[in-house]
Amino acid sequence: GLQGQVAIVTGSTSGIGHALAEALAAQGVNIVLNGLGEMTAIERTRAELAEKHGVEVLYNGADMTKPDQIADMVRAAKAEFGELDILINNAGIQYVAPVEDFPTDKWDQIIAINLTSAFHATKAAVPIMKDQGRGRIINIASAHALVASPFKAAYVAAKHGVLGLTKTVALEVATFGITCNAICPGFVKTPLVEAQIADQAKARGISEEAVMRDVILASQPTKQFVSFDQLSGMLLYLVSDAGASANGAAFQIDGGWTAQ
């Protein structure tokens, strides 16, 4: 079982990362919580997770734009807990603008946080997992790892890149009891998406209601947001023994978006 295993979840102070960390904690997994935010709010989140589920939760504030901090976080997890069983590369940001206006610093930041951080964390975690003969790497990609939308050049490029990284690592670790997979969610109602509704309205010159109806719900055939529980269900399958042969795959949890 998962009891006593150890997971790092990047970007777990909010949204999907927080929900996935909680799903693992509920199975008895000790957690390294990571992400930005206000320290008292983060400490409250950390203490709540630990208390509610009776697991150890350590916060590591590694900035996903800083390779050294990412590697140190992985080493610290192994040093503190003695093992590292699950790595979830989830931290991500969004920025929406036409490509000709896309700020270069936003491009660089999105590639760093949404793609390169997964490389650095994976690079540091794989030797530990190989030594153990066991490990699960799950990259939270997106439907945008498979299809594009206008005004999201950096995000779509980064998420396509994450899928390439996922497949490559999967091939390299396959004989070591390790798997590497991507979960590709459609729209999930998190702070990241709520901010996007406003940004999209500006970029397209339409109302926020029109963005919900014509942009977000237009691409998702179920006309429903994907829920945290639906993503957690896929995660728990991938980290289970039953998930051992799922490797290098992209699991679309997107209400049919990418079937179109």
- Residue 133 in the binding site for ligand NAD (CB under 6 A): no
CA 156 to chain centre: 14
Residue among 90, 200, 219, 220 that touches ligand NAD (CB under 6 A): 90
- Residue 30 in the binding site for ligand NAD (CB under 6 A): no
User: Residue type at 24?
Assistant: L
- Contact predicate 97/203, CB 8 Å: yes
Q: Which of 59, 95, 155, 237 is catalytic?
A: 155
- Rounded Cα distance, 119 and 112, in Å: 10
- Residue 161 in the binding site for ligand NAD (CB under 6 A): no
150 Ramachandran zone, left/alpha/beta (phi>0; psi -120 to 50): beta
Residue among 91, 128, 138, 153 that touches ligand NAD (CB under 6 A): 91
| Total Cβ atoms within 10 A of residue 134 | 17
Residue among 185, 243, 248, 255 that touches ligand NAD (CB under 6 A): 185
Mark the segment that binds ligand NAD (CB under 6 A) among 23-31, 49-57, 88-96, 99-107. Answer: 88-96
Q: Could you tell me the two tokens for 83?
A: 């093992």
- Contact predicate 145/159, CB 8 Å: yes
Least distance from C-beta 170 to ligand NAD, angstroms?
A: 19
Least distance from C-beta 226 to ligand NAD, angstroms?
A: 7
Least distance from C-beta 62 to ligand NAD, angstroms?
A: 7
Question: How does DSSP classify residue 200?
Answer: H
Closest CA to 12 of 23, 4, 3, 21: 21
- Rounded Cα distance, 158 and 179, in Å: 21
Residue among 20, 42, 58, 93 that touches ligand NAD (CB under 6 A): 93
Residue 215, C-beta contacts closer than 8 angstroms, at least 6 positions apart:
200, 204
- Residue 118 in the binding site for ligand NAD (CB under 6 A): no
Mark the segment that binds ligand NAD (CB under 6 A) among 23-31, 41-49, 80-88, 90-98. Answer: 90-98
Residue among 187, 228, 251, 257 that touches ligand NAD (CB under 6 A): 187
Site for ligand NAD in 57-86 (CB under 6 A): 63-65
Residue among 142, 219, 220, 232 that touches ligand NAD (CB under 6 A): 142
- Residue 248 in the binding site for ligand NAD (CB under 6 A): no
Active site (annotated) includes residue 155: yes
Residue 221, C-beta contacts closer than 8 angstroms, at least 6 positions apart:
255, 256, 257, 259, 260
| Total Cβ atoms within 10 A of residue 140 | 27
Where do contacts with ligand NAD occur on this chain (CB under 6 A)? 11-17, 34-37, 63-65, 90-93, 113-114, 140, 142, 185, 187-188, 190-193
Please identify every residue annotated as catalytic: 155
